[in-house]
C-alpha cells in the first residue's frame, strides 16, 4: 500500500509538472479560441461544409458524435429553409435588441462569441449568416456535445487535484500574458450567443469528483476562476455587452419529439411585447411592496419571506427589471436583487434538474439571505458538493416571477418534468437564484425599463456593495431554482402599512390587469 501511495504521489507530481510546462501554450490556445474568425476558426470551416448528405464532416470536430447527434443534424436540415432563416434572424435580432433593453452601447465592436450543439448546424448556419448581414463577426467556439466523455471529466479532475499555489501563479501569469497578446481582438467582443438543447432523462449524479479535491485545491481553483473573471471583465464589461440564449428539444424527449419540437420552436419565435406590457403591470404592483411572501402547496412546503430594497424616488426608480425575449428566449420574467436582511424561511422544490444534476426534495433554509442549511433526498453532502460547491454558504442573488404560462403548459402536456432546461423552466413560476446577483460586475451601470423608463436601482446586495473594498464578493455562480405554478399556494407582497397585495393565488396570476398572463394555461393544468 505504501508503494502504491508513493506511485500516486509521483504520478500527480509528474502531471503537475506537465501542466506547469504547458501553461503558456494552453493559455494562448484558449484565448485565441475566443477571438479567431474566418479561415483561422476550424469550427467556422466545418460549419461551412456541413450538409445532410454526409456525416463525414462531423468527425472533424474531434469530439464524441452520437447517433442522436447525426439524427438531429438531418432533422434540422430537413426543416423548411424559410423557417430556419426566420429563427436565425430572430436570434440575431434578439441579441441586438439586448443592447436596447439593457441600456447598453455596442459602440463599434463586432465580435460575437457563438456556440451551438453538435447536430444543430442547419440553424447555426442561419445565425452566422444573419449576424454577418447585420455587420457582426461571429466567433464560433467549440460546439457543445450531448455527453461529456469520461476522459474530459478526468482531465478536469486531474487539473484540480494538483492545483496549488505554484500552479495557480503559473496559470494566472500565462492567462494574463495571453490576454494581453490578443487585447485588441478581445476588446472587439460585444457579446455571446448560445443555442442549447434538452431532452435527456435526468438521472441522479452518482459521481462526486469535487469530493476528491483538498481544501487547498478548492481555494486556489476558486481564486483562479475569480481572478480570470475579474480580469476579463475589465475589457469585456458585463455592463457593455449583450447576449442571447435559446434552447430546443432533441430526440431524447421521446416518441412525440416532432410535436414537442414544433411547440417549442413556435414559442421561441413568439413576439414578446404584449407579455412585457402585462409584466409592467406586475412591476407597478411589486414596486409598492417591501416584502414578498411565498407559500407552497400540493406537497410543497415552501414558506419564505423575501425582502425588497426600497427606492428613493418612485417616480424615477423601480425595483424590478422587465424581461422579454431577447437575452433569454423565450419571454417571460421580472426580477430583482433581493435585500439579504429579512430574507428568511424555507424554499422547497420537489424535483429539479440544475446544470445537468438532478435533485429530489431539495430544501434550502435561508436566514437573512444566506443559505444556512441545504438538504435533499440524495443527502446533504450531495447538495454541498454540487449545488453549493465550493462554498459552505451562499446568498440569494435573485428573486423573480416567471410569467410564461405557455411554456408551463407545454411542459405539463408532454410530462417533461426534469428534462426542461432552466433557461425555460425559470419562466414557469416564481423563482430564486443562489449565488451572485444578475448584475455582478455591472452594478454601477444604470439600466432602465423600456415601458416606464424608470431606472432599475436594485443591482447589488449587502455583499456585493463591498466590491471596491474586498476581492471575494462574488461566488462565480448563479443558479436559478423555480417553484412551478401548481405548487404555489400564494405569492403576495406586503406594503409598508402591513396591507397585502396578491400576485399569484392557487397558481394563477390574480393582480388586476395581469389576467392575460394566464392565457397560456389554456384550460389545462389546474
Contact present, 282 and 271 (Cβ < 8 Å): no
C-alpha distances out from residue 64 to 151, 275, 357, Å: 11, 40, 21
- Digit-coded pLDDT (tens) for 434-482: 999 999 999 999 999 999 999 999 999 999 999 999 988 999 999 999 9
Give the pLDDT of residue 291.
Answer: 99
Q: Collect all residues with Cβ–Cβ distance below 8 Å to 128 and sequence separation of at least 6.
A: 44, 47, 88, 114, 138, 140
pLDDT at 74 over 70: yes
Q: What residue ranges do the domains of the chain occupy?
A: 2-252, 294-488
Q: What angle do CA 228, 234, 239 make, to 5 degrees?
A: 110
Helices (H), 102-249: 121-133, 150-161, 165-181, 183-186, 215-235
pLDDT at 525 over 50: no
DSSP output for 372-415: EEEE-TT-HHHHHTTTSTT-S--BEEEEEEE--HHHHHHHHHTT
Q: Give the pLDDT band of residue 147 (cuts 50, 70, 90).
A: low
Q: Chain-centre distance of CA 256, in angstroms?
A: 27
Q: Give the pLDDT band of residue 492 (cuts 50, 70, 90).
A: very high
Per-residue pLDDT, averaged over 509-515, amounts to: 98
Give the pLDDT of residue 411.
Answer: 96
Give the pLDDT of residue 417.
Answer: 83
Give the pLDDT of residue 152.
Answer: 39
How many angstroms separate the CA atoms of 362 and 358, rounded?
A: 10
Nearest alpha carbon to residue 191 among 240, 261, 249, 126: 240
For the chain, give the percent of residues with pLDDT over 70: 94
Give the pLDDT of residue 351.
Answer: 92
How many angstroms separate the CA atoms of 166 and 454, rounded?
A: 49
Q: Give the pLDDT band of residue 158 (cuts 50, 70, 90).
A: low
Give the pLDDT of residue 161.
Answer: 83
Give the pLDDT of residue 339.
Answer: 99
Q: Is the peptide bond before 189 cis (omega within 30 degrees of 0)?
A: no
Strand arrangement, sheet containing 291-296:
370-375, 357-367, 339-354, 303-307, 291-296, 488-494, 500-505, 508-509
Contact present, 70 and 58 (Cβ < 8 Å): yes
How many angstroms separate the CA atoms of 286 and 338, rounded?
A: 12
Query: For 448, which DSSP code?
Result: B
pLDDT at 523 over 50: no
For 413-469, strand residue ranges (E) read 430-435, 455-456
Give the pLDDT of residue 276.
Answer: 96
- Digit-coded pLDDT (tens) for 17-44: 999 999 999 999 999 999 999 999 999 9
In terms of Cβ atoms closer than 10 Å to its own Cβ (0-12, 13-18, 19+), residue 4 is: exposed
- Digit-coded pLDDT (tens) for 368-405: 999 999 999 999 999 999 999 989 999 999 999 999 99
Phi and psi at 414, nearest 5°, equal: -100, 5
Cell of 475: 461566488
Q: Give the pLDDT band of residue 154 (cuts 50, 70, 90).
A: very low
Phi and psi at 404, nearest 5°, equal: -90, 85
- Digit-coded pLDDT (tens) for 246-289: 999 999 999 999 999 999 999 999 999 999 999 999 999 999 99
CB atoms within 10 A of CB 117: 24
DSSP output for 272-315: -HHHHHHHHHHHHHHTT-SEEEEEE-TT---EEEEE----S-TT
How many angstroms separate the CA atoms of 450 and 322, rounded?
A: 8
Cell of 234: 475589465
Whole-structure pTM value? 0.93
Q: Is 422 helix (H, G, I), strand (E, B) or coil?
A: helix
Helix/strand/coil percentages in the chain, nearest 5: 40, 25, 35
Helix axes 81-101, 121-133, angle to 10 degrees: 50
Rg (CA), the chain: 23
Amino acid at each position: 500500500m505504501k508503494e502504491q501511495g508513493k506511485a500516486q504521489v509521483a504520478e500527480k507530481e509528474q502531471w503537475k509538472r506537465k501542466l506547469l510546462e504547458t501553461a503558456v501554450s494552453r493559455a494562448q490556445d484558449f484565448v485565441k479560441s475566443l477571438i479567431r474568425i474566418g479561415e483561422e476558426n476550424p469550427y467556422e470551416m466545418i460549419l461551412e461544409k456541413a450538409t445532410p448528405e454526409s456525416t463525414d464532416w462531423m468527425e472533424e470536430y474531434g469530439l464524441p458524435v452520437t447517433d442522436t447527434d447525426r439524427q438531429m443534424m438531418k432533422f434540422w436540415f430537413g426543416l423548411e429553409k424559410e423557417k430556419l432563416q426566420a429563427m436565425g434572424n430572430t436570434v440575431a435580432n434578439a441579441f441586438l435588441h439586448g443592447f436596447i433593453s439593457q441600456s447598453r452601447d455596442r459602440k463599434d465592436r463586432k465580435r460575437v462569441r457563438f456556440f451551438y450543439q453538435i447536430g444543430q448546424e442547419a440553424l447555426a448556419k442561419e445565425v452566422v449568416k444573419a449576424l454577418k448581414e447585420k455587420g457582426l463577426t461571429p466567433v464560433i467556439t467549440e460546439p457543445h456535445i450531448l455527453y461529456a466523455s469520461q476522459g474530459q471529466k478526468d482531465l478536469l479532475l486531474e487539473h484540480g487535484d494538483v492545483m496549488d499555489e505554484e500552479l495557480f501563479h503559473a496559470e494566472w501569469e500565462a492567462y494574463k500574458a495571453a490576454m494581453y497578446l490578443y487585447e485588441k481582438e478581445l476588446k472587439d467582443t460585444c457579446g455571446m450567443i448560445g443555442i442549447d438543447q434538452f431532452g435527456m432523462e435526468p438521472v441522479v449524479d452518482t459521481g462526486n469528483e469535487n469530493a476528491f479535491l483538498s481544501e487547498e485545491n478548492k481555494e486556489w481553483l476558486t481564486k483562479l476562476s475569480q481572478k480570470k473573471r475579474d480580469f476579463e471583465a475589465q475589457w469585456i464589461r458585463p455592463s457593455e455587452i449583450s447576449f442571447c440564449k435559446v434552447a430546443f428539444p432533441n430526440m431524447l424527449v421521446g416518441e412525440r419529439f416532432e410535436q414537442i419540437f414544433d411547440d417549442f420552436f413556435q414559442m421561441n419565435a413568439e413576439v414578446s411585447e404584449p407579455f412585457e406590457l402585462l409584466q409592467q403591470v406586475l412591476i407597478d404592483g411589486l414596486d409598492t411592496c417591501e416584502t414578498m411572501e411565498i407559500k407552497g402547496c400540493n406537497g410543497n412546503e415552501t414558506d419564505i419571506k423575501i425582502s425588497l430594497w426600497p427606492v428613493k424616488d418612485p417616480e424615477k426608480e423601480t425595483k424590478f427589471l422587465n424581461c422579454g425575449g431577447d437575452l433569454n428566449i423565450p419571454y417571460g420574467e421580472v426580477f430583482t436583487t433581493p435585500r439579504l436582511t429579512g430574507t428568511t424561511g424555507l424554499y422547497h422544490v420537489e424535483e429539479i434538474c440544475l446544470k445537468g444534476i438532478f435533485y429530489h426534495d431539495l430544501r434550502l433554509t435561508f436566514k437573512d439571505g444566506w443559505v444556512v442549511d441545504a438538504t435533499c433526498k440524495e443527502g446533504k453532502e450531495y447538495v454541498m458538493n454540487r449545488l453549493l460547491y465550493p462554498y459552505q454558504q451562499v446568498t440569494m442573488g435573485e428573486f423573480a416571477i416567471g410569467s410564461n404560462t405557455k411554456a408551463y403548459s407545454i411542459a405539463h402536456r408532454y410530462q417533461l418534468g426534469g428534462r426542461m432546461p432552466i433557461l425555460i423552466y425559470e419562466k414557469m413560476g416564481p423563482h430564486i437564484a443562489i449565488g451572485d446577483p444578475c448584475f455582478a460586475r455591472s452594478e454601477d451601470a444604470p439600466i432602465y425599463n423600456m415601458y416606464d423608463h424608470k431606472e432599475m436601482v436594485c443591482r447589488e446586495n449587502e455583499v456585493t456593495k463591498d466590491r471596491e473594498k474586498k476581492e471575494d464578493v462574488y461566488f462565480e455562480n448563479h443558479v436559478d431554482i423555480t417553484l412551478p405554478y401548481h405548487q404555489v399556494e400564494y405569492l403576495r407582497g406586503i406594503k409598508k402599512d402591513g396591507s397585502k397585495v396578491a400576485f399569484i393565488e392557487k397558481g394563477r396570476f390574480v393582480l388586476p390587469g395581469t389576467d392575460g398572463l394566464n392565457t397560456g394555461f389554456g384550460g389545462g393544468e389546474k
